[in-house]
Each structure stands twice: as structure tokens, then as C-alpha cells.
Chains A and B, each alone.
Chain A
Amino acid sequence: MKTLLKWFVPLMVLSLLLAACQPAATPTPEKVIETVTVEKEKEVVKTVEVEKPAERAVVRLSGWAASPEETALLQSILLDFTVENPDIVVKYEPITGDYWQQLKTSIASGVEPDVFYMDIFQFPAFVRDEVLLPIDDLMAKEGVKRDDFIPSLIDAFSEGGVTYGIPKDFNTLGLFYNKDLFAQAGIAEPTDDWTWDDLKAAAEALSDPANNIYGLGVPADPGRFPIFVFQNGGSIMTDDYSDTLLDSPAAIEAATFYTDFRKNQSGAIPADVGEGWQGTVFGKGQFAMVYEGGWLIPYLKQQFPNINYGVVTPPAGPKGEGNLIFTVAYVISRNSKNPEAAMRVINYLTGEKAQTKVLESGFALPTRLSLQNSEYLKTNPASSAIFRGALQGARPFVWGLVGSDVNEQMGKALERIYLENQPVDAALKQAAQVIRQKIAEVK
């Protein structure tokens, strides 16, 4: 131990000095030969030598790290970009933890990246506080047209006629159904033309509570339940988000319909069968139908490769179609020193070439209208159903400045109905009351 201690001091001093003297990495304005290795596909390793010109604009790009595979794909697209645009350096800074915490900390400290992911849910707060750069002029310069994108998506990232972000990808909800369970129950598989009545009848026929099998997953999830409100002609918030409509008759009716599935034992929440997420329950064959997004497709492929399933757009309610759009855009910070270069990066990442690559990898759906007839969607009916959802009465998943409170209250209202047997209208009224208070708080 004594010898160990002898080493304590010099080692520590040395390491401290090293830490202190290490200069912050700065891009050197010289000719640099950069060797970049990227793992593409599975075994093809590509090494490209890029000659960098002296003046290079640095664009920092940050997003959440969805998975190692998806990151590798993004990096390979960025590599292609670097080859074509030697005057721009893209520094990719993935965030593997709580993205919003890290992003907001960076913004508060004035060190946010030039380009970052923006979820539609968080978008209103960032626009109100003028964090985002209006990009219409930059788009014009770069030749990017709004019309090239799915209208509901690009509109979602605009406010007051000003565009703030280019949609990167999106998801909607589809009705995933287990073909084997339908065959066992001897009922016809769902189609895009189904209605609430079909859904209810099928769920009842499919349920077998004694064997822990339920017709429909009805989680207390604010990312699922609202589509029933939309299908019933209602809404969660008013158009300007100044008030909630959660206690309107349309919403209460929808909630009654939704929660009755569990009451009648034709539906259940994931916790009833011991899981946290209904995707897993569906994979295990315990829920015959679930409303989930395109993310369920790769999950099932990896975790439950043997499941035999199909996807259709959500059944229509009494007042027609209704769906949620989950979408993410690339936005530019107002503090960016190289907005033009940043726009060029965004244009490349959302271009037809890059989006085709992403689509073919199965990670996300493209936001460009021109890709709706792509080969991939034709041969992948499941993804196609999710894509079609965006064109059929879907609304973005956004509830204004108090979005997280609205979500929380919606979830709690459903939990109270499920776990404490609170009457539906009382639960929603309680939720609406709290939401109104929260709206008043942020004013």
C-alpha cells in the first residue's frame, strides 16, 4: 500500500496538468486529409479520402441517438454529403440521454448546435421563444420548395406563414392485428374501411381473458387515445391551444368507448398482462390488436420474428377518420454562424436520395410527396399503411405550450378510470380543470 501511495501524488498532479493543458479541439484552417471510415450495410467498409479546402464552414448537428444502426446510416449519408460539399464540415453530436434536457441546457448556455432535431410536440415553445431561425429565405436560396413535402407535415412546422423546419420523417398510428388470432377466432381480418362497430365486435370475439388474451390494447397513453376523440369529431385542444376540449361531449363519448373495452374485458392495458408496452404484449400474442406506429415493425422483426401480422389504417369513428402524426424536423438555431451551410446540410438530409436510403433501411417514413409511390412502400404493406395514415385526417401530436401537462393529465384521467373506477366524465373534467390552470400559469 505504501508504494501505491507513493504513486498517488505524482500521478494525480500529472493527470491534472494533462487535463488542464489539453486545448479545446478547434478546426484548423489548413489543408487536411481526413480519413473517414463508415460501416455501410453489413460488411462493406468504405474508406474515403476527402481533401478539405482551407475555408470550411462548421455545422454542428445534434439529435437523439435512436439506435446504433440508425446512427451509422445517418453517418454514411453525412459522409456522402462531405464528399459532395468539401467546403462544409458536419460535426455530428448525438445525444444518448434525455435529449430535451441536454438541448435546453445547451440553449441556456448559448452553445446549442447549428442544426438539431425538433419534435412537433416541443415545437410551439421553441417558436414562441424565438430559438428557431425562420428558413423561408434560405429555402428559396437553396431551391427547397414547401410543395415537395407532405402538406400536413410542413404545415406542422410553420407558424404564421413562416417555415421553421423541414420535416425529417414521421409516423402515424396503424391498427396492427395478429392474423393467427383472427384465424383462430374465425373472423375476417380488418380492412382500411373498418369502423368502430367492426372494431368492437372483433375485439369481443377475439378476447379470451381466461387465457390472458385480449382483443384490443387500450393503454392509458396520451399518444393513442386522442385518435378516438378525433374520430368522434372532437379535439383535445382548441385551434389556438388557448383552451382544452377534453371535457367536451365528443371527448367524453370517445373516452367512454375507449375505456369500455377494458371494462367489458374485450381489451386491456399492458400492465394487466405484465408488460410496460403493448408492443411487447402484441408480439407475445396476448393482444390481438394494438394501435402503434411504424416503430413496431422493426421491433417485431427483431424480438418476435415469427409473428404473423398485418396493419391497416385506424377504423373510422362516427365522425370519420382520425389519426395522429408524430413528426420530427431539422431546424436551425438563430445563433447559428453558418445558416446557409446549415440549410445545405438539411436539404441534403431531407433530399430524395437520402430519404430513399432511410426508407429502404426501414427506419423511418419519408416526408417527400414524390416518394409515396416508391417501390419500397409497394412491397411493404405494413409501412404503406402507416404512410397512408398521414393523408387521412391525421393531425400532428401537439397540444401547445403546456403539451406535457396535457399528456400527463390525459394519462392520469385514463389511469383513474382504470385503476380507481372514477366515472369517465368526472375524470376528464378533473383533467381539463388542471390543464386550464396550467395554461393560466404559463401566460
Chain B
Amino acid sequence: MATISQTVSKKATLSDRLIVVLDRIKTPVFYFILIGWAVLCIAPLYFTLVFSLKPVANVYDPPLFWPIPFSLENFRDVIGALPLFPRWLLNSTIISLVVTFARVLFCAMAGYAFARMEFPLKKFLFTALLISMMIPGQVTLIPNFLVVGPGIIRGGLKIGDLTIPTGFGLMDNLGGVILPGIVAAFGIFMMTQFYKSIPKELEEAAMMDGLGRFGIFFRIVLPISTTQLLTLALLTFQGEWNSFMWPLTILRTPENFTLPIGLNWFRGEYYTLISKVLAGSLFNTLPILIIFFIFQRYFTQSIAGTGLKEG
């Protein structure tokens, strides 16, 4: 704090005048930015909605900005043509929820360890974590599939009479989609960076009171990092919900499909009826929006109501 007060006294007059001007125009400028970006964000989805609410035969007719003629035909068709729709919704929900819960907890734990504790190989492990994020997913798809599904060695590793499976055998199983996702380097990296920016005082006080690391983590660190946990939870849920390549590789029978894989049925072999695809994608987007609206409350609460930030 000492450095700040020193600099303050040096150059106050010029910038002070500027601040007065900026303070006056600040609010309208911020509103302008906020509203402008909001319009840009809504536009594509709005047009998608308009497009999917037109009958297939009329999608190319004007007007572009309003669904005339209006029809729910596309939505009806999507539901009607796909009897397994509820099943896919359920599968997607299970996968996304389990992965989200597991990942948030595990990433928070690992992130906390990296940010706050000293242990051997720490630097090495963190570097390895960073580097693992840099390898693109296209080439690790097959080895990952081998581990989750049939195993690295076909038929398992044979030692005498003993056969040790080299894979989890989770092909065509929701567990196979979940397993590699329960921790993510990205999430750990994110939580590490967050925990490093949080002041240590509270934890130190708790440690004086004789609370162990686990106690501190579950009773103090987790509750005060609600915002970040929710951010990570949202990112994870959204990523898992929209995830396509990995579930497609693991899941084989239509009963086990997730929503994006099932809805992809509408992307035809030779041509695609775009309004049906868009209707299907709105089905896919809606649950996330609802969840986001619900959790908005927690964001606001955590910002307004933490005693920590006042003290």
C-alpha cells in the first residue's frame, strides 16, 4: 500500500481533471458497450428461432426478421421422428451432472494443492498439466478409446492363468463417457489461478485454530470460492452437454446416445434440412439456458453476501 500513496501524491492534478470528465461520460459509455454487445449476442439465436419456427417449405421466403408463416412443424417433427428423445435427454443429463460434480470437486482439490501446498514434484506436475493441455485431441482419441473400451492389449494381459484386462471395458456405456472427464487439466489450471489470487489470511487463521488441510478446504476454501466453482461448473456442464466427438466414439446403440449425437440424425447424408437442424439445436440449448438462469441467483448472492470481502 505504501507504493500507492507515494505515487498518488506525485501526479494528482492532471489525472484528476480527466477523471471528472470520464466519470460523467462513464455510465452512458458502459451502457452503450453493454447494450451493443447484447444485441450482437442475441441476434444469431433470435434468427435461429425465427428460422426454426417457419415451415420447411417457406424458410427461404421473406420476411427474415419474423416467423411468418408461423409453424411448430419442425419441433413436432424432431420429437416425433425420434422416439428415443426422452432417453437421450436423460443420458445427457446423467453424464453432464456426474461429470460436473466430480470435476468441480476434484479440480478444486487439485487446484488448491497446487496453489497453496508445498510438495515434491510440484513444479514438474504443474508443467506436465500445462503441457497436456497443448496436445490436440485428434491423436489421443484412439489411445483414450483403447483404455476406456477394449483395452490396450486385445483380450487382456495374460500372466499364467490370470488375465488382467488392460481397459475399463466401458464401450457403449455411459460410464465410459464420464470417466475421462471427471478431472480436466483446464479446470485445475483455472482453480489454481483463482486460489492464488485469494488472500491467505482466513486459512491461516483457521490453521491457528487447529483445523487440518481437509477441514480448511471443505469448511473454508470451498465456501469462499463459490463463484469460481460455479463458473467451472457451468463451463463443465456446458462442455459436457454439447460434447460430441468422445460420446460418439464410445456410445454405439441408439438407446445410449446423448442428445447431440441423437439430434445429429437430422444432418443428412446428402443434404440437410437446416430448419430441422436448428429446431433440434434449440432443444439442445434450452436446458443450459434454464440452468444458467437458475444459477444466476448464486452468482449474485456470492458477490453481495460474503462477509470475507468486507473484512
Contacts and interface: CB of A to CB of B under 8 A. Distances in A.
Given A96-B248, A299-B271, A19 B179 contact: yes
A8 B169 CA distance: 27
A39 B271 CA distance: 24
Contacts of A299: 270-271, 273
Contacts of B83: 39
Contacts of A111: 149-150, 171
Nearest to A13: B102
Interface string B137-172: 000011001100110001000000000000001111
A109 interface: yes
Interface string A58-72: 000010111111011
Nearest to B77: A68
A1 B273 contact: no
A12 B101 contact: yes
A419 interface: no
Classify the interface of chain B: helix, strand, loop or mixed. Answer: helix
Nearest to A326: B270
A68 B302 CA distance: 46
Interface stretch (A87-95, A150-158, A374-382): A87-95
A68 B248 contact: no
Given A68-B265, A299-B271, A110 B252 contact: no
A1 B149 contact: no
B253 A1 contact: no
Given A284-B60, A303-B273, A1 B101 contact: no
B57 A93 contact: no
Interface string B110-149: 0000000000000000000000000000000110011001
Contacts of A105: 141-142, 145, 249
Interface in A208-253: none
Give the interface size class of chain B.
Answer: 35 or more
A24 B172 contact: yes
Nearest to B138: A101
Interface centre among A11, A97, A108, A279 (most CB of B within 10 A): A97
Contacts of B145: 105, 109
Contacts of B101: 8, 11-12, 15
Contact of A16 (B102, B226, B273): B102
A277 B274 CA distance: 12
B57 A303 contact: yes
B173 A305 contact: no
Interface string A1-20: 11001001101100110011
A302 interface: yes
Given A68-B81, A97-B244, A277 B265 contact: no
Interface in B266-290: 266-271, 273
A19 B98 CA distance: 10
A92 B172 CA distance: 13
B178 to A, nearest CB: 5
Contacts of A284: 60
A105 B250 CA distance: 10
Contacts of A5: 218, 222-223
A293 B149 contact: no
B148 to A, nearest CB: 10
A282 B106 CA distance: 55
A146 B176 CA distance: 43
Contact of B271 (A108, A110, A277): A277
Interface of B: 56-57, 59-60, 81-83, 94, 97-98, 101-102, 104-105, 141-142, 145-146, 149-150, 154, 169-175, 178-179, 182, 218, 222-223, 226, 244-245, 248-249, 252-254, 257, 261-262, 264-271, 273, 298, 301-302
16 contacts: A15-B97, A16-B102, A20-B175, A62-B252, A68-B266, A97-B244, A97-B261, A97-B264, A108-B142, A109-B142, A109-B149, A110-B154, A280-B60, A293-B270, A296-B271, A302-B273
Closest 8 CB pairs of A and B: A19-B175, A295-B270, A68-B81, A96-B264, A66-B269, A15-B98, A93-B252, A97-B248
